[in-house]
Structure 1
Amino acid sequence: MSQPSTTDANPTASVLVIGNEILSGRTQDANINFLAQRLGALGITLREVRVIPDDHDFIVATITDLRARYDHLFTTGGIGPTHDDITSECVAQAMGVPWEIHPETFALLEAYFTRERFNAARQRMAMLPRGAVPIRNPVSLAPGYSIGNVHVMAGVPAIMRAMFDELAPGLRGGRPVVSCSWYAFDLFEGGLAAGFAAIARDYPALDLGSYPFHRPDGRHGVALVAKGLDRSALAGASDAIRALIVALGATPQEGEPPA
């Protein structure tokens, strides 16, 4: 179970994952967890994640919606050279600006590929919404970009992470999210639910969650996690969680349960 916090003073964000390959199960997304952790460390609260197909109207409508709801929108996927890489033209439409050649990016990619290999497909990667600011890509050179509060990055995890590292220093953040975790073997959610709910009521500014685990060797238990912006409240909740586990006759262990 999870109890959402009632206060959120940090900037907010959403992540939009674009790609038929994610929805079909052909490719497993590896970017959401990375972004959630990095944004939390920067003091940017991730509030929503959506995964949508390579559908022009769907992408435009979703970008329009999410960029109005949150301080930051991060997109991954759909900025390569193939016919289904349509994120950039959709971003341009959502922002109400032309999708056009970005001269500096065009020159950068032309020099990298050489004129003979810089074909029409690769030139698509040099087309950005007017007014976009490129995000440097130290892995494969073709950049992502920011326009307004929308940050557009590649779907390939190594490239997306490199782009985010370039972007992160310029992002406006807040207080970093802090967390604690306790676990115990031979605990069940049904037995701890009432006590854990009481702790959640005592610390409404924190997110509290319980997560059962089952190991391959047959051992099982529950991990209890608290996270938020208030270090003092977190310390109190941590003590209360530990005490609850002891009261239930189990041995509390700090951290995440072993795999």
Structure 2
Amino acid sequence: MNVLFRKTNAISGKLSAASRISVLNNHFCPRNHLFNMADNNPTAGIIIIGDEILKGHVMDTNSRFLSRRLFALGVKVKKISVISDDLDVIAKEVAEFSQSFTHVITSGGVGPTHDDLTFEGVAKAFGEEVVAHPELVDLCKEFFGTDDLKSPKLKMALIPKSAKLHFGMNKQTKQIAKYPLVNIRNVYMFPGVPQLLEKSFDMLQSIFANPHTIFHVREVYVDRDEVLITPIINDTDARFHDRVVLGSYPDFYNSYYKVKLTLESDNQQNVDEAQKFLMENLPHGSVVNYEKDPCGTASEHVYGIIKTEDSSHLAVNVRHATRVIEQAFEKYKPEELCIGFNGGKDCTALLHLTYAVYRTKYPDETRRLQALYIRRGQPFPEIELFTKIAKDNYHLEIITIHDKIKEALFELKSTHPTLKAVIMGTRRSDPYCENLEEFSPTDPGWAEYMRINPILDWSYKDVWTFIRTFNIPYCSLYDRGYTSLGSMENTHPNPGLQVVDSKGIISYKPAYMLANGDSERAGRN
């Protein structure tokens, strides 16, 4: 059932006055009887219920969401279990968890179908029967149009006899959820649909909040293989084991770091001391100043450098390119502009700059930034994947046309007649671009568009300096020696980045390490 909402001053007339008070009291005074306020170390166990998870038909995202939220609330998740839609299995797992943890959270199995057995399983765990709760019967009747207890539609109204209802409140709208969270003892039964679980948990998170503990977390990003820094990790753990939890997480696909180290403690001084020890003992220059959300902070960081008195080449480039993009938005409405994007390094840098300007100039605009992807030849799967990633990261509306550039622009004119200008990642070193200006109309015989070129005078090195400084995600091919991307038929790793080890095995350094930017197209036919 969807979680519907009603205004706090319009609670269903079917509820008695006593019930309404109960609803509000359950929301504002949610502490369960097992959470002793003197307990400074509450724990949680999460039980994910559903055959669809075990069969791999559905990916479990609920346990990750719950773990992150509970940790932020000062509650340590000690165990996560995924079990089948089996009455006895549910009862056994719930009974064991209830005895082991302060809070037990279940996800899934609370719907109206035959395999939704959570309520029955939890009741069995505590030796109770399921009964029709009058408030839930009223809600089911309102939603399904029947109060016949023999109807399968009323299954959601049958809950453990001693269960309580918690109606969450949306803090912004002040609306109370129409369907409640069902709770018995220290067990809380959430829906399995991620959107519903997340909405319900956020409205009722005060139930689980630990007022005594705040976890302090630090993250250290290192660009060395884990095996090379293992002695330092082990030494740090030996020194701080009793005070700080140290985690080490290799990442084989990140373009900026190889290992993420986490330091966690309920004492900030302990975290500070452990971090200081790590920083002093890790190899010099190995710690990366990594931005986890470069796209979300694009405006903040781009305009942050613009507003400083920094006179570095990077700052000068960013200021100038940003001003050109601002002029583009002054001359054209958002619906009249699109950005050329094919997954390459130049348009990736341009996209980041354009997105920063767009979000700054139109902070409340719901319209997505339009991007033109002209697909030519046989594209690399890596480019296709990165294009999808960029679409999500920058909230793009991607217009894909498979044709040569000239023909593609004519098709664009036909399918999107409101577009008047294209922001492009063109540089003077590109073929036939040495005479372009920042605002250049298309040539005679082409579809009429204004070509806007904010990074026209950037060098190969300038592009990579910008991308790497801002931790901008880019296509993984660049980490494998490709320096200029076309299609699979005409693009190869740059021979200038080739490395041959003592065994004759060939590999390639990443694109940003190319010393001579003039040879960036050496891998193109």
TM-score interval, smaller chain: 0.7 to 0.9
Matches within 5 A, 1:211-226: 211-215=249-253, 221-226=258-263
Residue 149 of structure 1, aligned match among 186, 196, 214: 186
The Cα of 1:216 is off from its aligned counterpart by 6.5
CA contact (8 A) 2:70 2:208 kept: no
TM-score norm. by structure 1 comes to 0.87
CA separation in 1, counterparts of 2:209 and 2:62?
A: 21
Is 1:252–2:288 an aligned residue pair?
Answer: yes
Distance 1:78 1:139, change over 3 A: farther
Give the stretch that moved more between structures: 163-172 or 232-241: 163-172
Q: Tell me whether 1:227 sits opposite 2:258 in the alignment.
A: no
Task: Give 1:188 shift.
Answer: 1.2
Tell me, yes or no, if structure 1 residue 27 matches structure 2 residue 58. yes
User: Which residue identity does 2:259 align to in structure 1?
Assistant: V
Aligned to 2:445: none
**Matched residue, 1:13:** 44
Residues 23-54 of structure 1 deviation map (CA, whole Å, 9 limit, x = unaligned):
11100011111111111111111110000111
Matched residue, 2:465: none
Report what 1:51 is aligned to: 82
Q: CA deviation at 1:167?
A: 2.5
Write the letter of the residue equivalent to 1:20: D
Provide the C-alpha distance between the structure 1 equivalents of 2:101 and 2:217, rounded to a whole number of angstroms: 23
Q: Identify the residue that residue 102 of structure 2 maps to in structure 1.
A: 71
Higher strand share: 1
Residues 81-127 of structure 1, C-alpha deviation per residue, up to 9 Å, x if partnerless? 00000010010111111101001111122123323999822200011
Larger radius of gyration: 2
Separation in structure 2 between the aligned mates of residue 141 and residue 212 of structure 1, nearest angstrom: 44
Partner of 1:184: 222
The 1:236/1:252 distance shift into structure 2, 3 A limit, reads farther
Q: How many residues align?
A: 249
Describe the shift of the 1:160–1:139 C-alpha distance in structure 2 as closer, same or farther (beyond 3 A): farther
**2: CA distance, partners of 1:136 / 1:196:** 46
Aligned pair 1:206/2:237, yes or no? no
- Name the CA shift for 1:251/1:63 in 2 (closer, same or farther; >3 Å): closer
The structural deviation recorded for 1:195 is 1.1
Residues 15 and 32 in structure 1, CA contact (< 8 A), matched pair in contact too: yes
> Residue 5 of structure 1 corresponds to which residue in structure 2?
none
Structure 2: unaligned runs, 5 residues or longer: 1-38, 169-174, 294-470, 474-525
Q: Which amino acid counterpart does residue 145 of structure 1 have in structure 2?
A: V
SS at match of 2:59: coil
1:91 aligned partner: 122
One-letter code aligned to 2:73: L
Deviations 1:190-212 (A, max 9, x none): 11111111111221222111111
Determine helix, strand or coil for the equivalent of 1:79.
coil
Distance in structure 1 (CA, Å) of the matches to 2:184 and 2:254: 47
Larger RCO (CA under 8 A, 6+ residues apart): 1
Partner in structure 2 of residue 108 of structure 1: 139
* Alpha-carbon displacement from aligned partner over 1:62-83 (angstroms, at most 9, x marks no partner): 1111110111100000000000
2:276 equivalent to 1:239: yes
Q: Does 1:164 align with 2:204?
A: no
The CA distance in 1 between the partners of 2:184 and 2:288, in whole Å, is: 47
2:91 aligns with one of 52, 57, 60:
60
Instruction: Pick from 58, 71, 87 the counterpart of residue 40 of structure 1.
Output: 71
Compute the displacement of 1:215 (Å). Answer: 2.6
CA contact (8 A) 2:251 2:258 kept: yes
Moved more, 83-92 or 33-42: 33-42
CA distance in 2, matches of 1:111, 1:26: 32
CA contact (8 A) 1:15 1:50 kept: yes
Verify the 8 A CA contact 1:181 1:254 in the aligned structure 2.
no
Comparing 60-69 with 205-214, which one deviates more in the overlay?
205-214
Partners of 1:179 and 1:115 in 2: CA distance: 51
Q: Distance in 2 between matches of 1:80 and 1:74?
A: 16
Post-superposition offset of 1:134: 1.6
1:150-172 C-alpha deviation (Å, 9 max, x unpaired): 01110001111122123221335
Measure, in 2, the Cα distance between the counterparts of 1:82 and 1:59: 16
Aligned partners of 1:52 and 1:58 also within 8 Å: yes
The residue aligned with 2:28 is none
- Aligned partners of 1:242 and 1:117: how far apart in 2? 66
Q: Contact between 1:79 and 1:125, CA under 8 Å: does it hold in 2?
A: yes
Q: CA deviation at 1:239?
A: 1.7
Q: What corresponds to 1:197 in structure 2?
A: 234
